[in-house]
Structure 1
Amino acid sequence: MEKETRTVANSYSGSSEADSVVAAATRVRELAERLARDADDFLSVTRISSSAGVPVDIIEALLAGRAAEQRDLTTVFTSRCQDLKKRRKVASDAIGQALGVSGSHAHYLITGKRKASMEQCVALAVFFDVRAQYLTATDHDAVLDLLRDDERRMLEELAAAEPAPAADAEMARLLNSPGIRSIAARAADLDPDRRRALAAWVDGFVAGARSGEEQ
């Protein structure tokens, strides 16, 4: 009998979110194979769980294309804070000092007994040396962001191993820019019809922008 996903909240991530994770995982696997790397290392649920701060059962569901039960953000925040505290072996007093509060207050914040302010969330991210969104991203977004980071790094590695011809250097520079990569990563998860619609919108936007510059 299939392992039942642990009940953690009343809201669920939809199948479209699971599909986006499957699409990203497929791209990661293909890139790993092109680089003669072991794709299973990248797609290990243990590794993803540790790096993204997401329970294994949720990752297994998303990678299988199934809708996974979504934890509420308070649970996500406190779970990741407590996991970091345990793994880094730091005391509540040290965390409190970084936040400018007492150790007991810091304990209340990372256990969810008191709600952390935005400034405290940022301070906690700085203290644990993680991105701010790591502490607050939904489980789906955390997994997807990690896979996209893997994809970006392998694309850069592949580009270095297979340099573009001189005639394509400018195009390669543009495609390598963070903004373009971000748009491309999001567009890759769309179906063909929506990608065509997005391309048409971009063409219209660029044409309008150029027209405005010429006036």
Structure 2
Amino acid sequence: MTGGFEGPGAKPTTTLAAVVARVGALADRLDVPHAEVFDVGRLSAASGVPESVVGALLGGRPTGGADVQTRFVQRLDLLRRTRLKPNGRKYTQQEIADGAGMSRQQAGALINGDRRPTMEHCDAIQRFFRVHAGFLTAEDPEALAGALQRTEQELLQQLADRERQAAAPADDPLERLLQDHGVRGIAWRAAQLPTDQHRDKVAEWLDMLLESVKRPES
């Protein structure tokens, strides 16, 4: 069952193995625990892949792979459980339908797996939940590799910041603040949070902290 969702290309498992190796090497250079960067729950929420499958893929074990409709239903269920409204409640079928521009009956059939999703359905629901294109349909290894690539970019930024910090003047008050409070590490962890509301709270705290120190004018 493809229906335009999948096509030929590089083997996702090959890409995943390479990304896992790169992320592990970066974590070692930065003294970041592997348990943190390869946290199964976090990667599941970021990729949409079930935790059991994430664990198997990270361990290099075959998983068989679900078809497109099964992946869609699983990941839509995960979105409803992890991307909540500001009041902490799940979005209702009616709210998803309104936000995605479809009827409540259509939304209910998609959520329950009674209707095969189209690309238009996927795009609309992904926009509603503010997740990247392909979140609902990518094959499991590809989805997990994408989540790890985002982690890789964060680690590369941390590495660049550390190297820049090492070259900065020792008496720079802003650099000293960033180091003393572990601001860059906090920012990296904030990027892994599942909702904008969580990230906004951390951003507010960081803004207040950084405002407390101003670089001297040159």
Aligned-pair distance for 1:75? Answer: 0.5
Is 2:69 the partner of 1:74?
yes
Q: Percent identity?
A: 34
Count of residues in Structure 1 that have an aligned counterpart in Structure 2 = 150
The residue aligned with 1:139 is 140
Q: Secondary structure at the match of 2:135?
A: helix
For the aligned residue pairs, the C-alpha RMSD in angstroms reads 2.2
Pair 1:97–1:119, CA change in 2 (3 A): same
Is 2:90 the partner of 1:95?
no
Tell me, in whole angstroms, the C-alpha distance in 1 between the residues paired with 2:47 and 2:131: 11
Would you say the 8 A contact 1:25–1:63 is kept in 2?
Answer: yes
Tell me, in whole angstroms, the C-alpha distance in 1 between the residues paired with 2:59 and 2:24: 14
| Map 1:201-212 → 2, pairs under 5 A | none
Aligned-pair distance for 1:56? Answer: 2.4
The residue aligned with 2:37 is 42
The residue aligned with 1:151 is 152
Q: What is the TM-score normalised by the length of structure 1? A: 0.63
In structure 2, runs of 5+ residues without a counterpart are: 1-10, 85-89, 168-218
Tell me, in whole angstroms, the C-alpha distance in 2 between the residues paired with 1:134 and 1:86: 15
Give the aligned residue type for 1:97. D
The residue aligned with 1:190 is none
In structure 1, runs of 5+ residues without a counterpart are: 1-15, 166-215
* Misfit runs of 4+, over 6 Å: none
Aligned-pair distance for 1:77? Answer: 0.8
Pair 1:158–1:64, CA change in 2 (3 A): same
Q: What is the TM-score normalised by the length of structure 2? A: 0.62
Tell me, in whole angstroms, the C-alpha distance in 1 between the residues paired with 2:143 and 2:132: 11
Tell me, in whole angstroms, the C-alpha distance in 1 between the residues paired with 2:15 and 2:61: 11
Tell me, in whole angstroms, the C-alpha distance in 2 between the residues paired with 1:68 and 1:19: 14
Pair 1:44–1:86, CA change in 2 (3 A): closer
The residue aligned with 1:84 is 79
Instruction: Tell which has more relative contact order, 1 or 2 (C-alpha 8 A, sep 6+).
Output: 2
Aligned-pair distance for 1:102? Answer: 2.3
